Amino acid sequence: MQRLSYLFAAAVLGITQAHADLVINGQNTAITTANPVASSVKNNSNYTPSRSFPSCLASLRSQAIAAGVSAANYDLYTQNLQPDYSVIEKLNYQPEFSTPIWDYLSGLVDDERVQKGQAMLQQHREVLNRVAARYGVPAETVVAVWGVESNFGDISGKYPLLQALGTLSCEGRRQSYFRGEFFATMRILQRGDLRMDQLYGSWAGAFGHTQFMPSTYERLAVDFDGDGRRDLVSSTADALASTANFLSKAGWQTGMPWGFEVKIPAGMSTAGEGRRQKKPLSYWVNQGVKRVDGSPLMQGSLSSSTSAGLMAPSGAQGPVFLVFKNFDAIYGYNAAESYALAIAHLSDRLQGKGAFVTAWPTDDAGTSRAERREIQQFLLNKGYDIGAVDGLIGDKSRQAIRQEQQSLGLKPTGRAGQQILKAFREQTAKEMMQ
């Protein structure tokens, strides 16, 4: 996995790795069916298709065969396949709420996820050691991707891939891209790596522990447990190794950091800087940039010629970072700097490092998932119909928060931030004393 627009842009723009709408706003849904070909997510869509779905599938048959799917298998995989037009609405969805980076990171990198990630590091230590030895990617980075993508396998998606990708191949924008993923899904089935009842994922087609798109799966998934199948759904070893293989192929440099938080001199402009505008560390030293703890930039494997870009996601007043090529490798997993920063920061936290030193430039900081669940429970107790208490703030929760903010004399932003949490706690305390 409301869906953050910059998170699903990778899927709709044709990038081969998509971050599913799962961790922030998904649901942990276990689906089994005796007839997976004909299975269907309940379709409450009001979308009006432009053509007959069966006729579209028929027209794609020759393209699928040319793409390496046998005629018999194409007929098998599309037999009784029904469309789910709700995926078109998700493709076209433009959220009215823009999520600040401090909200995004506070939900993805919280104590709950750090603690669970550390437990996963211990539980899978033997496999992760072998993965790190083969691909040169630290265990903490691999586990961080796993945690952000699917909450360590807890949330992997509810959409049957053939149904979702078949629908996206026939309707909406980027049909050519989704057809490629549709055919790749069929080739995965045809090869025997996975069964049809295992292929559930995001509405855009990402699936498995670390949410590979089907074409990415074909290119980069590996059989690490030695059973002859590349299985990112039920084999944790295959999933972790495949993630490391992805990062390695994306240019990961063994022994180098992704980056670190820095302190810039007062008055220094960050305009025009970014992860793409890399300069030698010697340049940043001459500019007066230091690590946030005041220590020199060049330590360990870093030298004066090592290239780094200065990244200030919330401007010079918020946390500022020097980022290296390994940050770009993480960025390649899903083309969003906020996403890459979440992975990078979680990997640091899993190593025992602390939170960012510099505060975000806001008077209403973000909340953890536990705190968001607390906000949701308060709203439910007040009678709002917001759905489950899951720590995932959607449109109904934001609407309810706006109403409460208005009644409290606060700016009606709809944000589940620290201000409204504090106000709710004060109300609860007063009610308990009455």
Domain boundaries, the chain: 5-96+156-220+244-249, 259-323, 369-433
Q: Is the pLDDT of residue 1 over 80?
A: no
Using pLDDT thresholds of 50, 70 and 90, give the confidence band for residue 23: very low
Question: Number of helices (H) and strands (E), helices first, in the chain?
Answer: 18, 7
- CATH class of the domain defined by 369-433: mainly alpha
Q: What is the pLDDT of residue 434?
A: 75
Percent of the chain with pLDDT over 90: 82
pLDDT of residue 21: 33
**Residues ≥6 apart with Cβ < 8 Å to 379:** 386, 397, 400, 401, 404
d(CA 205, CA 217): 11
DSSP string, 115-146: HHHHHHHHHTHHHHHHHHHHH---HHHHHHHH
Task: Give the pLDDT of residue 214.
Answer: 97
Instruction: For the full predicted model, state whether its pTM sits above 0.85.
Output: yes
- Above 50 in pLDDT, residue 413? yes
* Model pLDDT, residue 95: 65
Say yes or no to pLDDT of 376 above 90: yes
Local confidence band at 400 (pLDDT 50, 70, 90 cut-offs): very high
What pLDDT band is residue 105 in, cutting at 50, 70 and 90?
Answer: very high
**42 or 157: which leads in pLDDT:** 157
Are the folds of 5-96+156-220+244-249 and 369-433 the same?
no
In what order do the strands lie in the sheet containing 320-323? 279-280, 307-311, 320-323, 259-263, 290-291
Amino acid code (one letter) for 157 = G
Least confident of 91-100, 145-154, 403-412: 91-100
pLDDT digits (tens, 9 = 90+) for 268-315: 999 999 999 999 999 999 999 999 999 999 999 999 999 999 999 999
Q: Quick: pLDDT tens for 145-156.
A: 999 999 999 988
User: For domain 5-96+156-220+244-249, which CATH number applies: 3.40.710.10, 3.90.730.10, 1.10.8.350, 1.10.10.60?
Assistant: 1.10.8.350
User: Rounded mean pLDDT of 52-69?
Assistant: 97
Rounded to an integer, the average pLDDT of 85-98 is 82
Residue 207: strand pairing partners: 201, 212
Flag whether pLDDT at 34 surpasses 50: no
From 15-29, 203-217, 253-267, 326-340, the region with the lowest mean pLDDT: 15-29
| Average pLDDT value for the chain | 89
- For the ranges 14-28, 36-50, 175-189, the lowest mean pLDDT is seen at 14-28
Burial level of 403, CB count in 10 A (0-12/13-18/19+)?
middle
pLDDT in tens, 68-81: 999 999 999 999 99
- The rounded distance, in Å, linking the Cα atoms of 423 and 41 is 39
**Rounded to whole angstroms, how far apart are CA atoms 152 and 143?**
8
pLDDT band at 30 (very low <50, low <70, confident <90, very high): very low
